[in-house]
Structure formats: C-alpha cells, structure tokens
Amino acid sequence: MSREKKPTRRRIAELVGIGVLLPIILPLLFLAVTLHWVHRFILYLLIWIFWLPKGKDALVIYSESPIWHDYMTREILPLLERRAFILNWSERRRWPKWSLATHVFRSFKGGKEFNPMVVLFRPLRGAKFFRFWLGFRQWKEHGEMESVDSLRDELCLHLEQK
C-alpha cells in the first residue's frame, strides 16, 4: 500500500495557504483561550463573593435515572442539601435561564460524564469535581459499587476538611 505523492506545486500551495492563514488563526486562537480563562475567573469570583459567604460551596447535578436516583437521594444529597445548589437534569427545561447555578453548571460540566456530579468550590482555589457517572456505569455493567462508594468516601473527606 503506497501513498501517492502530491505534486510539488500542490504542496507549495498548501504551505503558502498555511503561511497566510497562520497569522490570522493564531491571534484568534489566543483570543478565544484568553476569553475562556477570563470567563472562568469571573465565575470563580462570583462564586467566592456570592455563594461561599452564604455557606453554599457545592453544586450537585443528578437526574431521575433509575440507575443512580435512589443512591444519590439517599447517600449524596443528605450530605450536601444545606450547602449546595441542586440541579435535577431531568427537570432542565424548567431551570431558570439566568441563574448563576445554571450558568456555572454549563460552564463547568465538561463534555461528558457530568450526570451525576458534585462540584465543590473552595476559597481562592479551583473547584473539585466528583463525577459519579463512570462508577455507576461499572455498577450497572458489572455489579461493582466500589467506584461509587470510593468516590462518596472521597467526597466525605473533602467535606470534613472544610
């Protein structure tokens, strides 16, 4: 299996195209990354100023999934209900559009494995994420609860440190 060589003219044209576009793309990429981090910093400031002084230092996301709903309501929510904003993914159509909790969730959720999840916010430090999805998947597929229980224990340790 041999690869066909591109004609020299075509390779030169591609290099020239890259050379022309690179000075345009790099500043735009730098701007996008900078705006992302400025946005993230502003969110942290809002959380530190408005949530932490009120004793709210966590965000909990879960849903009505039969796989984890009972565990989350029995084992996780009682640990956090007084100190967390709780968002039920199954009711996301009813979430307020201009809520700080909703915006924080959308900004911090990442691409996948965000449900169920607990995010702990600490003063002047980055958030600590506890993503339970993978553990529940292992429980569903293999009957192993060790990952979920281990993550719950780690969450409890972080809550005690506060």
Nearest to 86 by CA among 59, 118, 64: 59
pLDDT of residue 161: 80
pLDDT at 4: 67
- Give pLDDT, residue 14: 67
CATH ID of 55-161, from 1.10.1200, 2.60.40, 3.40.30, 1.10.287: 3.40.30
How do the domains of the chain map onto residue ranges? Answer: 55-161
CA distance 149 to 99: 31
Instruction: Point out the residues of the chain with pLDDT beneath 70.
Output: 1-6, 9, 12-17, 19-22, 162
What's the pLDDT score for residue 117? Answer: 95
Query: What is the structure's pLDDT at 111?
Result: 80
pLDDT in the model for residue 55: 93
What is the model's pLDDT at position 145? 85
d(CA 139, CA 124): 35
How far is C-alpha 93 from the chain's CA centre?
19
pLDDT of residue 99: 92
Its pTM stands at 0.80
With contact defined as beta carbons under 8 Å apart, do 58 and 126 qualify? no
Residue 35: per-residue pLDDT: 95
Q: What is the pLDDT of residue 94?
A: 93
Cβ within 8 Å of residue 69, ≥6 positions away: 62, 63
Closest CA to 72 of 158, 144, 138, 151: 151
Number of Cβ atoms within 10 Å of the Cβ of 120: 21
* pLDDT for the residue 3: 66
The predicted pLDDT at position 144 comes to 82
Beta strands in 81-138 (DSSP E): 84-88, 117-120, 128-131
CA distance 147 to 89: 22
Q: Cα angle at 99 between 97 and 101, to 5 degrees?
A: 120
Give the model's pLDDT for residue 16.
Answer: 64
